[in-house]
Amino acid sequence: MSGFVLRRLLLFLPQLLAIAIVGFALLRLLPVDPVSRIVGSFGTDEARQSAKETIGLDRSFGEQLGSFLEGLLTLDFGESFVSGDSVRAELGDRIPVTLQLIGIGFVLALVIAIPLGRYIASKVGGRIEKVTTVYALFAGAQPDFWWGLIFLFVFFFKLGWFPAPLGQLDPTQIAPDGPTRFIFIDTLVHGQFDLFVSALKHYALPIITLTFVLTGPILKIMRQSALDVISSDYLLYAKASGFTPKRVRRMTARNSFAPVVTITGVLLVFALGGAVLIETVFALPGLGRYALSRTLDTDFPAIQGAIVFMAAFGLTVYLVMDILYALLDPRVRHSRD
């Protein structure tokens, strides 16, 4: 197992570096002109040259790449073309928002889908199975931003159970300054329980939206995986051999989790990029909205920073997914030793 983990770790940095370099190169091959965004379409040649020098686009491709790779070692992506602020600082403010959203949403989806999927697998043909099957198909067939708008209409506009989608807090409230930039943690650290409750209310609907959408596919995979294990020959042999019910349940759980690990990892990576839709609907200042707005503004440093973080996040998720899969199924790690 240690050799398997070591090989996966050794691949992490080369993969991340390759993605960062390819993203850097492709940005400069696109038919876009960041300088025009700064000086306007009718800017003079002197103004354009001055802007190029200011943002560093007057240098050769090799010089720009060298500076980018040097900054990459310290996660220094330079200054934003749009705001003039440090990209690292801007990412530091927005990444926690997205991680809280998708992290809590996924945990809730797993807590609901895994036990429910195992339960309905043991009740084939029952009413609960029919209801959950319809729910899984219906929830997954609609885009998450559409569900967000529906939930806003019902629970905010009609029922008034949740506050207006105006960000993490009410407009009159100010988030605490650090130390983690995760608002749920920082409000508790500073003892600002009123802000914690406010943040919880503002995050509730976007988290419910994400959980509602994600629970469907995870539930379907868990149910089908549990059904396959329950009807497998080795489990029937285990029962016939006199294994205790507790041991049989443990075997069922372990062997049915592997497909769930796979689909969870894939959904988690896609949720990071797709968070822009939910963040836009609920006005959350997360990484998704930031990456979209900076892309429309052709802000190269900000786009490069977002690409590097998203790539690192995706590679980390896949690394953890491979390790968990290998722990659940020894054949995976032994086949690669």
Cβ neighbour number for residue 30 with a 10 Å cutoff: 9
Give pairs for 317-320: CB < 8 Å, separation 24+.
317/265, 317/268, 317/269, 318/265, 318/269, 319/8, 319/9, 319/12, 320/265
Note whether 333 and 4 are within 8 A (CB).
yes
Q: Does a cis peptide bond (omega within 30 degrees of 0) precede residue 179?
A: yes
Q: How far is CA 93 from the centre of its chain?
A: 16
Tokens (6 digits) for 303: 């786009």
Which of 39, 65, 110, 56 lies closest to 271 in space, CA to CA? Answer: 110
Which of 315, 302, 286, 314 lies closest to 96 in space, CA to CA? Answer: 286
Q: Please identify, in words, the CATH class of the domain defined by 87-336.
A: mainly alpha
pLDDT higher than threshold 90 for residue 302: yes
pLDDT of 331 reads 60
The proportion of the chain whose per-residue pLDDT surpasses 70, expressed as a percent, equals 95
Residue 276: which H helix or E strand, with range?
Answer: helix 245-281
Amino acid at 288: G
Query: Average pLDDT, stretch 89-108?
Result: 92
- Residue 49 has what DSSP assignment? H
pLDDT higher than threshold 90 for residue 86: yes
Alpha-carbon distance of 237 to 239, in angstroms, equals 5
**128-158: b or e for each residue (b if 16 or more CB lie within 10 Å)?**
ebeebeeebeebeeeebbebbeebbeeebee
Query: Average pLDDT, stretch 152-169?
Result: 91
| Average pLDDT along the chain | 85
| Start-to-end Cα distance in the chain | 8
* Higher pLDDT among residues 99 and 220, named by residue: 99
pLDDT of 284 reads 92
pLDDT higher than threshold 70 for residue 312: yes
pLDDT of 65 reads 92
Place of tokens 């490069």: 304
pLDDT of 335 reads 54
Question: Domains of the chain: which residue ranges?
Answer: 2-73, 87-336
Alpha-carbon distance of 280 to 91, in angstroms, equals 17
pLDDT higher than threshold 90 for residue 138: no
Q: Where does the pLDDT of residue 324 fall: very low under 50, low under 70, confident under 90, or very high at 90 and above?
A: confident
Place of tokens 């707005």: 293
